[in-house]
């Protein structure tokens, strides 16, 4: 989960630099606020359906995390050409799908992959990483946007999500193999 902070650093841009960017593009605050309503409504309404899709097509936590991070990258890439509320709304919907896939899988994976009796410790590390991403994300994102512009920042956000994909693909190579089939679980089945 070493690259989790990069996704969280990227995710926090939605409430910081991307919010300012939508204003710069002339999108009213009311429409920007509606993006978060779309996010919440989609989570409430689509989570049961998505849970079934996860159980069927993402049979392992690792696959669930990798696919979720890939979808995060797509959502950020969609922002590169976004100029209208509809384009930002489409990106937010894709981002929300990524959230619904990844965020439940992270604690489930930590629980399964942690050494016996150490799950709480590793959950704490994940929570600390999340806090670090939320803490430094606005400063880094704002600085990059001010110095180099939003397009470069958005490219970096997509790249960070791809780095998280790579980290998720490689991270368990050195973990000892467990006798139980931990990798055969998804967050939807845990």
CB 96 within 8 A of CB 30: no
Residue 182 in any domain: the answer is no
> In the chain, how many domains are there?
1
Instruction: Report the candidate in 152, 138, 148, 160 with the shortest Cα–Cα distance to residue 17.
Output: 138
Rounded CA-CA distance 68/51 in Å is 13
Task: Give the pLDDT confidence score for residue 186 in this predicted structure.
Answer: 59
Task: Give the pLDDT confidence score for residue 179 in this predicted structure.
Answer: 47
Task: Give the pLDDT confidence score for residue 85 in this predicted structure.
Answer: 98
Q: What is the pTM of this model?
A: 0.88
Rounded CA-CA distance 162/98 in Å is 13
Here the CATH number for the domain that contains residue 150 is 1.20.1250.20
List pLDDT tens digits, range 14-49.
999 999 999 999 999 999 999 999 999 999 999 999
Task: Give the pLDDT confidence score for residue 177 in this predicted structure.
Answer: 62
Rounded CA-CA distance 91/38 in Å is 11
Residue 176 in any domain: the answer is no
Residue 137 in any domain: the answer is yes
Residue 185 in any domain: the answer is no
Question: CB neighbours of 76 closer than 8 A, spacing ≥ 6?
Answer: 10, 91, 95, 154, 157, 158, 161
Residue 180 in any domain: the answer is no
Residue 155 in any domain: the answer is yes
List the domain range (segments joined by +) for residue 124. Answer: 4-170
Q: Which residues of the chain have pLDDT under 70?
A: 1-3, 174-190
List pLDDT tens digits, range 126-144.
888 888 888 999 999 999 9
Instruction: Report the candidate in 152, 169, 176, 167 with the shortest Cα–Cα distance to residue 79.
Output: 152
Phi/psi for 30 (5° steps) reads -60, -40
Residue 177 in any domain: the answer is no
């Amino acid at each position: 989960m070493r690259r989790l902070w990069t996704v969280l650093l990227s995710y926090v841009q939605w409430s910081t630099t991307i919010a300012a960017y939508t204003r710069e593009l002339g999108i009213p605050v009311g429409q920007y606020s509606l993006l978060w309503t779309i996010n919440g409504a989609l989570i409430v309404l689509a989570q049961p359906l998505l849970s079934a899709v996860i159980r069927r097509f993402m049979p392992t936590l690792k696959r669930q995390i990798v696919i979720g991070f890939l979808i995060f990258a797509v959502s950020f890439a969609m922002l590169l050409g976004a100029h209208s509320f509809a384009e930002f709304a489409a990106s937010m919907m894709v981002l929300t799908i990524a959230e619904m896939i990844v965020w439940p899988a992270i604690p489930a994976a930590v629980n399964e992959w942690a050494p016996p009796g150490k799950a709480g410790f590793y959950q704490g590390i994940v929570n600390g990483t999340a806090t670090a991403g939320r803490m430094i994300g606005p400063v880094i994102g704002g600085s990059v946007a001010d110095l180099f512009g939003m397009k470069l920042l958005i490219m970096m956000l997509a790249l960070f999500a791809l780095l998280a994909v790579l980290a998720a693909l490689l991270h368990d190579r050195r973990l000892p193999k467990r006798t139980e089939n931990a990798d055969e679980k998804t967050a939807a089945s845990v």
